[in-house]
């Protein structure tokens, strides 16, 4: 028998598989397809203080082994998420979720963190300071150590939930930012958000994405994510939720060996809506194949 249980910032997850924010909505579409209670947890669609339509369309472009999105944090606003989505998540999922919050000012992050703090089925607060698709906020907070630390500190003051700060890879030195959020009190790090990318339509000779650029994700970015998680693992003591291009049980183990305590799966959900269920099911056999009995012990294995 193999053990897939993961301990993460005081929570016990049945397995490390967590669908990533923005690729799983609030769980509704997937709960129609399979019993999502098989998942370790899931990260809800990035939620902001006010409702947002997001960016103009087209918001999606294809790439070799990946895709670009520029949705721009479309969401119904935190009030509706708390009154409608979180209660429904309790019904269809029943386990603690990762509440992903975004903002355009320090005050907005604090507002959302305070509101989410009062929700029983929020297990982890994931603070998105790395959205590449919104102006005047989002990634702006995640690109310097000082601003990343200031958001972390402000959020930590108003919540007792574990705070994971979601970092962008679109920086010169992600390690210094990871260290800064750890020093500011973060309980963990989620990484990596999407890489800034673009495609150009040859017929129109214009960017495919209406917002010009977007966030590049999918299997193509797995090596980038692995390298960044590997470096950050060496530099911090707090746990890392690793993500970026994971599409199989083998990828999950690879990400954990790089240093991740749990993983998120993003773009793959959009191509194969059953992928997370399938990865959970495949994990025991793949673990056995590689002589792993306790999955948790894989974390950071490539460093030893």
Partner 1 sequence: MRQSIFSIETNENIAKDVYRMTLSGDTSDITAPGQFVNIQLDGFYLRRPISVCDWGDGKLTLIYKILGRGTQAMSRYSAGAKLDILTGLGNGFDVEKAGNNPVLAGGGVGVPPMYGLAKRLRAMGKNVTVVMGFASKEDVFYEEELAALGCTVRVATVDGSYGTKGFVTDLMDSAYSYSYACGPIPMLKAVYDKLDCSGEYSFEERMGCGFGACMGCSCKTKYGSLRICKDGPVLEKEIIVW
- Interactions with partner 1, residue window 208-267 (CB under 8 A): 208, 218-219, 267
Tell me, by CB under 8 A, how many residues bind partner 1.
36
- Contact string (CB under 8 A) for partner 1, positions 58-87, x = contact: xxxxxxxxxx-x-x--x-------------
Beta carbon nearer to partner 1, 103 or 218: 218
- Interactions with partner 1, residue window 6-35 (CB under 8 A): 22-25, 28-30, 32-33
Q: Where in the sequence numbering do the catalytic residues fall?
A: 131
Select from 57-65, 82-90, 109-117, 147-155 the region that touches partner 1 (CB under 8 A).
57-65
Beta carbon nearer to partner 1, 54 or 284: 54
274 binds partner 1 (CB under 8 A): yes
111-142 burial, b for 16+ CB within 10 Å, e for fewer?
bbbebbeebeebbbbbbbbbbbbbeebbbbbb
- In DSSP terms, 197 is beta-bridged to 214
Beta carbon nearer to partner 1, 45 or 156: 45
Nearest Cα to Cα of residue 195 among 245, 146, 260, 149: 245
Select from 131-139, 178-186, 271-279, 296-304 the region that touches partner 1 (CB under 8 A).
271-279
Q: Residue 241: is it exposed, middle or buried by C-beta count within 10 angstroms (0-12/13-18/19+)?
A: buried
Task: Out of 271, 289, 293, 294, name the contact with partner 1 by CB under 8 A.
Answer: 271
Nearest Cα to Cα of residue 128 among 66, 205, 61, 45: 45
Nearest Cα to Cα of residue 292 among 300, 283, 304, 279: 283
269 binds partner 1 (CB under 8 A): yes
CB of residue 67 vs partner 1: minimum separation in angstroms? 6
CB of residue 270 vs partner 1: minimum separation in angstroms? 4
Beta carbon nearer to partner 1, 33 or 281: 33
CB of residue 65 vs partner 1: minimum separation in angstroms? 6
CB of residue 299 vs partner 1: minimum separation in angstroms? 29
Beta carbon nearer to partner 1, 16 or 218: 218
Residue corresponding to tokens 């998120």: 264
Beta carbon nearer to partner 1, 25 or 185: 25
Residues that bind partner 1 (CB under 8 A): 22-25, 28-30, 32-33, 45, 53-54, 57-67, 69, 71, 74, 208, 218-219, 267, 269-274
């Amino acid at each position: 028998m193999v053990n897939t249980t993961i301990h993460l910032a005081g929570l016990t997850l049945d397995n490390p598989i967590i669908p990533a924010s923005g690729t799983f909505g609030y769980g509704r579409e997937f709960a129609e397809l399979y019993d999502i209670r098989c998942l370790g947890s899931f990260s809800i669609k990035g939620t902001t203080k006010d409702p947002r339509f997001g960016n103009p369309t087209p918001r999606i472009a294809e790439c070799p082994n990946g895709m670009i999105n520029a949705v721009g944090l479309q969401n119904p606003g935190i009030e509706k998420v708390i009154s409608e989505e979180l209660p429904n998540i309790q019904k269809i999922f029943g386990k603690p979720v990762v509440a992903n919050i975004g903002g355009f000012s320090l005050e907005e992050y604090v507002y959302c963190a305070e509101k989410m703090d009062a929700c029983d089925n929020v297990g982890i607060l994931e603070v998105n300071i790395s959205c590449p698709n919104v102006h005047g906020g989002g990634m702006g907070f995640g690109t310097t150590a000082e601003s990343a630390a200031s958001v972390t500190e402000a959020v930590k003051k108003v919540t007792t939930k574990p705070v994971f700060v979601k970092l962008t890879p679109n920086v010169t030195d992600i390690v210094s930012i990871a260290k800064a959020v750890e020093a500011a009190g973060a309980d963990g790090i989620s990484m990596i958000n999407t890489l800034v990318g673009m495609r150009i339509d040859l017929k129109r000779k214009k960017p495919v994405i209406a917002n010009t650029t977007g966030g590049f994700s999918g299997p193509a970015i797995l090596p980038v994510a692995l390298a960044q998680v590997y470096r950050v693992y060496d530099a911090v003591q707090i746990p890392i939720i690793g993500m970026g291009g994971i599409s199989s049980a083998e990828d999950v183990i690879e990400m954990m060996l790089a240093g991740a305590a749990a993983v998120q799966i993003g773009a793959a959900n959009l191509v194969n809506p059953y992928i997370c269920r399938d990865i959970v099911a495949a994990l025991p056999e793949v673990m056995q194949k590689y002589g792993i009995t306790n999955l948790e012990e894989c974390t950071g294995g490539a460093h030893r």
